[in-house]
Amino acid sequence: MVFRKPPDGGWGWVIVVVSFFTQFLCYGSPLAVGVLYLEWLDAFGEGKGKTAWVGSLANGIGLLASPVCSICVSSFGARPVAIFSGFMVAGGLMMSSFAPNIYFLYFSYGIVVGLGCGLLYTATVTITCQYFDKRRGLALGLISTGSSVGLFIYAALQRELIELYGLDGCLLIVGALSLNILACGSLMRPLESPSSPRPEKMCVDKVPDQYFVYHEKEKTIEENISILEKGYIDEKCVSNVPDCKQDIILNKNVLSSINVNEKDAYKKKVVEQTNFCKQFAKRKWQVYLTYWKETMVLFKNKVFSALFVAILLFDIGGFPPSLLMEDVARSANISEDDYYMPLISIIGIMTTVGKLILGILADFKWVNTLYLYVTTLLMTGVALFAIPFAKSYLTLAMLSGILGFLTGNWSIFPYVTTKTVGIEKLTHAYGILMFFAGLGNSLGPPIVGWFYDWTQEYNTAFYFSGFCVLLGGFLLLLAALPCWNACTNQSPKLPPNTYSYKVASN
C-alpha cells in the first residue's frame, strides 16, 4: 500500500477526535479498575495479589499481544480492526457482569477486554502517525489524553453506578457505552494515494475460466461422460435404427477425444494450483524471515535495546499506583470523609495534563525527546520512594498528581520510537516495545499485592517499584549517550539498514 505525504491537518483532525474518543471509551474502565478492585476483593474474598491479576491483565494483555496487534493493523487496516475490537471490549465488559468467580474475570475482563484495548491502541497510534509528521507530537498527545480523561471520568462514574445498580449493573452499562467505539472506528479512513496503482490480484485469479469448470466435475468426470454417451446413443437408436451402430462407433471416438482434452486441461489446472501454493508458501516464509531479520537489526541499536528494558521496568514499578492507590489510602486508615476526590481521578486528570504538555514540548526543536523521557522516568522513581512516607489524604493526593503527570510520558513514547527507528519501522518496533510494556503491566500490580500479602504493608512494595523505575531510567541514559556520539561522528558510515537516534528531535 502506498501512502501520501502526511497532510498534518484536514481529515487528520477528524482522526485525532475519533481516536481520542476511542481511547476514552476502551481504556476508561480498565484504567479506573481500582474502583472495581475494591469491590472484587469484598465479593470474592481472594488475596490482593490474586485479585490484582484482573486489572493487570486488562492493561497488560493488549500490550503483550502488540506484535500480533501490529500485524493485524498492517494486514487489515485501522478501520476494520477498530470496529472488530469495539465488539470485543463491549462483550468482555458485559460478560464480566456475570462472573461467578475471579477466574472467569481473568478471561472476560482481563483477556477479552485487554486484547480489544491493545488492538484499538495500536490502530489509533498507527493511523495518527500516518496523518501527521510536523505536528505528530501534538496529535499523539491529544489522542493519548483520551485514556486519561476516561480514567478521570470512569473512576467517579463507576463508583456512582455501583452505588445505584451494583457491580453487575455497572459493568453492563459501561459495556453498552463501549459500543460507541464502532461509530468512531468507521471514521478512520486510511490515508491511501489515489494515484497509486491497485495491487495485482493473486495468481489464482489469473487461472483461465475453463479450469474452474472442474470444481464441480473433477470427481465425476467419468460418470458424466458415460451418461452423455448413453443419452446420445439412445436418442439415435430410437430415431434411426439402421444407423445406430455406426453412430455408436462415431460417438465413442468423439467422446474419447473430449475425455482426453478435458483430462489434459484438468492436469494443467492441477499444475497451476500446485505452483501457486508453492509460490504462496515461499512468499510467506520470506515474509517471516524478513520480520525476524528486521527485528535483529532493531536490537542492534543501543537506544532501542535500552528502551525496551526501560519500558519494562517502568511499567513494573509505575503502573501499580493507578490500580492500588485507593487501597493504599484504605490501608493507611484514611477516612472516606477526608476524600475531596478519588485518588484515581486525580491521577487521571493530571495524566491528561502531562500528556498534553509533554506532547507539545516534544514538537519543539530545542527539546530532545529522549532526554525528556528519561527525566520523567527518574522523577517517577523518586515519587514512588515517597509513597510510604505519605500518611494523609493531602500528601497522597499530591503524589498521585505528580505520578499522574509523569505517566503522561506515554504521549511522547511513540514520538521517541519514531525518531529512533523511523516511521516505516514504527509499527514493527512499537509492537515489540509494547510487548515488554504489557509484560511490566501484567507483573507490576500482582508483585505489589504479593508484597502486601507477605508483609501486610505497602512500604517494601513501593521501595521495590521505585528502584525498578530508577534503574530503567539510568540504563536508558547510559546507553543513549554513547549512541548519540556515534551517530554524530560516524553517521555517513552506518549501513543502510541500521536505525539510530539523533541528538535533536528533528
* Confidence grade of residue 323 (pLDDT, cut at 50, 70, 90): confident
Report the range of poorest mean pLDDT among 107-111, 320-324, 494-498.
494-498
Q: Is the pTM of this model over 0.85?
A: no
* Confidence grade of residue 249 (pLDDT, cut at 50, 70, 90): low
Cell digits of residue 450? 504479593
pLDDT of 112 above 80: yes
Name the more confident of 245 and 112: 112
Q: Average pLDDT for residues 269-284, to the nearest whole number?
A: 70
How confident is the model at residue 494, as a pLDDT?
39
Q: Average pLDDT for residues 446-473, to the nearest whole number?
A: 85
* Confidence grade of residue 409 (pLDDT, cut at 50, 70, 90): confident
Q: Work out the mean pLDDT of the chain and round it to a whole number.
A: 76
Cα pseudo-dihedral 372, 378, 384, 389, rounded to 10: -120
pLDDT of 497 above 50: no
Cell digits of residue 320? 501499580
CA dihedral sign of residues 96, 312, 295, 373:
positive
pLDDT of 17 above 80: yes
Read off the pLDDT of residues 144-199 as tens digits, 9 standing for 90 and up.
778 878 888 898 899 889 989 999 999 999 999 999 999 999 998 887 655 444 44
pLDDT of 267 above 80: no
Domains of the chain: 1-193 (1.20.1250.20), 301-486 (1.20.1250.20)
Name the more confident of 458 and 154: 154
Report the range of poorest mean pLDDT among 198-202, 258-262, 273-277.
198-202
Cell digits of residue 290? 524478513
Q: Which of 329, 355, 495 is nearest to 415 (CA)?
A: 355
How confident is the model at residue 193, as a pLDDT?
53
- Determine contact, residues 71/287, Cβ cutoff 8 Å: no
Helix axis angle for 320-331 and 426-455, nearest 10°, is 20
Highest mean pLDDT range out of 105-119, 197-211, 264-278, 310-324?
A: 105-119
* Confidence grade of residue 263 (pLDDT, cut at 50, 70, 90): low
Cell digits of residue 317? 514499578
Name the more confident of 1 and 379: 379
CA 162 – CA 169 distance, rounded (Å): 7
- Alpha-carbon distances of 7 from 135, 158, 190, rounded to whole Å: 10, 39, 13
- Determine contact, residues 174/29, Cβ cutoff 8 Å: yes
How confident is the model at residue 7, as a pLDDT?
73
* Confidence grade of residue 82 (pLDDT, cut at 50, 70, 90): very high
